[in-house]
Structures are given as C-alpha cells and as structure tokens.
Amino acid sequence: MADRKATLQIDGQSIELPVLSPAAGKDVVDVRTLGKHGYFTFDPGFLATGSCESAITYIDGENGVLLHRGYPIGELATKADYLEVCYMLLHGEAPTEEQYQEFKSTITKHTMVHQGIHNFFNGFRRDAHPMAMLCAVTGALSSFYHDDLDIHDENQRLRSAYRLIAKIPTIAAMAYKFSIGQPFVYPRNDLGYAENFLNMMFSVPAEDYEISPAVARAMDRIFTLHADHEQNASTSTVRLAGSSGANPYACIAAGVASLWGPAHGGANEACLRMLAEIGSVENIPKYIEKAKDKNDPFRLMGFGHRVYKNTDPRATVMRESCHEVLKELNRDDPLLDVAMELERIALEDDYFIEKKLFPNVDFYSGIVLKAIGIPTNMFTVIFALSRTVGWVSHWHEMMGEANQKIGRPRQLYTGYTQREFSPIKK
C-alpha cells in the first residue's frame, strides 16, 4: 500500500505521521517521531494505543472475533487440545503429529519442580490466597535458572517457555494442597496435561483418584479459552517487565500479579461470589439497579470488556461447556439459573445495551470451574495457569525483535514547576 500519512496541524506546525496498515484490524498512526516535534501523545489506560507489533492473536472487538495464529477460538476450543494451542501460540503454526508428540514429551519432562521449591510454601500462612503463593513461587523460579540463561538465545528462551508451561500447573496445585493441608502430589508422566493437573489437585496418597474424562475435557477447554488475548493488562505487564531484559520467570510473576485484579483475571472469582450474593433469580433486579447506580461502586462482575463491544466469543463457548459439564456430571447448580437469568435480563436492559455490556469469558468460567470441583479462590490461579503460554509467547516474540527497546512511557506532568527548597531549620 502506498505510503499513507496523517497530518497533524498544531501551533502553526504541519506534522506528517506515517499511517501503517495491519494484516487485519484498524490502521495505526505511527507517532514515534512526534517527540522531535515537541509533543507526546496522552492515552491513560491505552484506550487507543498500540504498544507493539504482534502476529500471535487478533481480536475484532466489534464483531466478536478472536483468532490465535489465524484460527478462530471456537474451532480451537472444540477441535484442538491445549498443548496444540500452546505449540501454535509459541511457534506460529499448528504442530504436525511428530512435532506435537515431541512438544508434549518435552513439556511432560519439565513438570517437576526443584525439591527446594517445596520449602517456599512453609513460609505462607495456611489461609494465604493461592494467587499470592503462585506469584511468589513463580518469581522464585528465577533463582533456579538465572545464571545459565541467555534470553537472546532463541533456544534458551524456548526452554524457559517450556519450563513455565510445564511447571506452573505443578506450583498451582501445590498452592492448593498447601491451603488445605494435604501433601503435595508429584506430576505423573503417564498423564495428559489436564489430567495431570487434576491428579495433582485432587488425588491423595490414601487412595486411587479416578479422573473423569468429561472433567478433563472441560479443564483442557478452559485452559484453551484463557490461553492468550492480545495486549491485555497482564500480557502488557509481562512485555514491559521483559523489555528491560528481566528474567522470564520474574516477568511471568509480574503477569500473575497483574492478572489477580478483579477488573482482569480476578473477575471469575468475583463473579461467582457475586452470583452467590445475588442468590436467587428474584434478587437480580436489585443488583442490576446497583450496577447502574453511579454512586454505587458495585459492578456486574463478568460483564463488559475493553475490546469486545458485542460479544466475547469465549463466553459463548464457555456457556456451552457449562451446560455440557453440568449435564455430563449429572449436576445442576442454582447459580447457573441465576447466571442465565442475569444474562437475559442484562442483555435486555437499555443501560447494558447502551454501554455495550454483556458476559465476558469470566462470566461462565466460574460456574464450570465450580462444577469441576475447583474452589473459588483457585479460579484466577487456573486463569494464570492457562495464560502462561500467552505471556511467554508474547515475551518470546518481543525478545526476538531486531531492535527490541525498553518500554518507557512519558506523562502529562501536573505537579509543581521548579521552586527553591527551604530546609526546616530556616
């Protein structure tokens, strides 16, 4: 496409800025040269700012499209397993059977953690939130690999990525076991990724644990639905941390920290607590009114999204999973009735229509996780486990860039201009 320019007329200056065209989505105005004309851009929350080039995931918020390496999320969630999705997020293409088996074997062999990791948990209180433990212990992983790690070597970057994809489930399950006072369960190389995680979570030395194929399938699908999502808050955190050349394990710990917030990955835990607080279909109107009341900080958790403005395609798949899992496990959950009715009412309400608020990925995931037997305080840990592949894929992509720069935003300064300091004794 011919070189397109945007012209900024300001203070008598005419500033020409290149317009860049993506493979899909909105054109971008390249403002990198704006500084030399004496101006910065200002965009708190990055509502209209592209922070990087990426080829991993594409989101069309207006049309509810989510592609991972060009493949629609609905197809991946039903036709691929999580490790296939991990391979394609990291390497760019879907694996051949041989590549898949080699990747699966590599991940499997990295699932154990150094025995010293077990000692970290003894420093936590029993009631420590599992996200606090995951954040701390993931960061601690950097102490085991820092010295022999050259992040500018692609193969060493990939080995770090494989270790993280393999070990985060083990650490997540250890956080859960510690919180309930049960012994840690070691990974097993004869089990698949989701089965291994369920076994580390729910088996006990005292008896055999039978893994439900339906639960394992649902778990694997949840991992896939949360695997990556472009430049969301936690992925942007990982990129910014990694841009300084920081250890990848420390960068992923930063991503865990950012995901924890209720506006982001903490929404699934907050959503289930909200559904439990609403309690019954009769109470829904009261909470809808609270969500619309500007003076009330209450928000409908699991509703709304920065990018999706009509539908979150992951919520659609998650809703189907909800029904499948509850049916296959022969369970019903009154909270599902509340969730379905809340969705119906909210989607008919003028406020939610005007604000383009509808269920996001976190709205139904909590109900599926609860049906699988995952405790509420582990929901965001599952999200972090699932998103680790997205985080490491973006970190790997960034660190492979020819002119990778440290991220260093500017600001709109509103403090004092220079003034003289008078020491106290004067």
Q: How many CB atoms lie within 10 A of CB 23?
A: 7
For the bound state, the minimum distance from the C-beta of residue 270 to ligand SDX, rounded and expressed in Å, comes to 7
Cβ(367)–Cβ(336) under 8 Å?
yes
Among 107, 174, 240, 291, binds ligand SDX (CB under 6 A): 291
Select the span of 144-152, 168-176, 300-308, 395-403 touching ligand SDX (CB under 6 A).
300-308
User: Of 214 and 307, which CB lies nearer to ligand SDX in the complex structure?
Assistant: 307
- Residue the block writes with tokens 């510690």: 178
CA–CA distance, 194 with 212 (Å, rounded to integer): 11
Residues 99-158 touching ligand SDX, rule: CB under 6 A, are none
List the one residue from 159, 188, 273, 299 that touches ligand SDX (CB under 6 A).
299
Please pick, from the candidates 130, 248, 302, 313, the single residue that binds ligand SDX as defined by CB under 6 A: 302
| Active-site residue, from 81, 226, 362, 394 | 362
Buried/exposed code over 264-292 (b: 16+ C-beta within 10 A; e: otherwise) = bbbbbbbbbbbbeebeeeeebeebbeebe
State which residue has the least CB distance to ligand SDX. 304
Residue 412 CB, shortest distance to ligand SDX, in Å, is 19
Q: Which is nearer to ligand SDX, 134 or 361 (CB)?
A: 361
Q: Give whichever of 179 and 321 is closer to ligand SDX, judged by the CB atom.
A: 321
CA torsion, ordered 190, 192, 198, 201, to nearest 10 deg: 60
Q: Which amino acid is at 60?
A: D
Question: Minimum Å distance from CB 98 to ligand SDX?
Answer: 31
Among residues 142, 203, 321, 360, which is the contact residue for ligand SDX, using CB under 6 A?
360
Taking the complex as a whole, the smallest distance from the CB of residue 356 to ligand SDX amounts, in Å, to 8
- We find the least distance from the C-beta atom of residue 50 to ligand SDX, in angstroms, to be 14
Count of residues touching ligand SDX (by CB under 6 A): 21
Contact 241, 254 (CB under 8 A): yes
Interface stretch with ligand SDX, choices 13-21, 81-89, 171-179, 357-365 (CB under 6 A):
357-365
> Would you say 48 or 55 has its CB closer to ligand SDX?
48
Task: Name the β-bridge partners of 17.
Answer: 6
Longest dimension (CA), the chain: 79
293 given a catalytic annotation: no
Nearer Cβ to ligand SDX, position 91 or 292?
292
Question: In angstroms, what is the minimal distance from the CB of 110 to ligand SDX?
Answer: 25
Quick one: which H or E segment has residue 131?
helix 130-145
**What is the closest distance, in whole angstroms, from the C-beta atom of residue 325 to ligand SDX in the complex?**
20
We find the least distance from the C-beta atom of residue 25 to ligand SDX, in angstroms, to be 14
Site for ligand SDX in 362-381 (CB under 6 A): 362
Q: Which two tokens stand for residue 341?
A: 């009715």
Q: What ranges make up the beta strands (E) of 187-330?
A: none
Give the H/E segment covering residue 160: helix 154-180
Which residue of 6, 324, 355, 375 would you call a contact of ligand SDX, by CB under 6 A? 355
Residue 362 appears among annotated catalytic residues: yes
68, 129, 226, 305: the active-site residue: 305
**Residue 290 in contact with ligand SDX, rule: CB under 6 A:** no
Give the Cα separation of 4 and 82 in Å (integer).
40
Q: Residue 424, Cβ neighbours under 10 Å: how many? A: 4
Mask for 250-289, x = binds ligand SDX (CB under 6 A): -------------xxx-x----------------------
Query: Binders of ligand SDX among 197-236, rule CB under 6 A?
Result: 229, 232
Q: Which of 216, 214, 235 is nearest to 226 (CA)?
A: 235
User: By C-beta, is 87 or 391 nearer to ligand SDX?
Assistant: 391
* Residue 366: exposure state from Cβ atoms within 10 A (0-12, 13-18, ≥19): buried
Q: What share of the chain is helix, strand, coil (3-state, %, to 5)?
A: 55, 5, 40
Residue 381 in tokens: 């840990």
Closer by beta carbon to ligand SDX, 10 or else 263: 263
Q: How far is CA 232 from CA 179, 240, 390, in A?
A: 29, 12, 10
Who's near 334: CB < 8 A, 6+ residues apart? 280
CA torsion, ordered 245, 246, 249, 255, to nearest 10 deg: -100
Choice between 120 and 391, CB closer to ligand SDX: 391
Residues lying near ligand SDX in the complex (CB under 6 A):
229, 232, 263-265, 267, 291, 299-307, 355, 357, 360-362
Positions annotated as catalytic residues are 305, 362
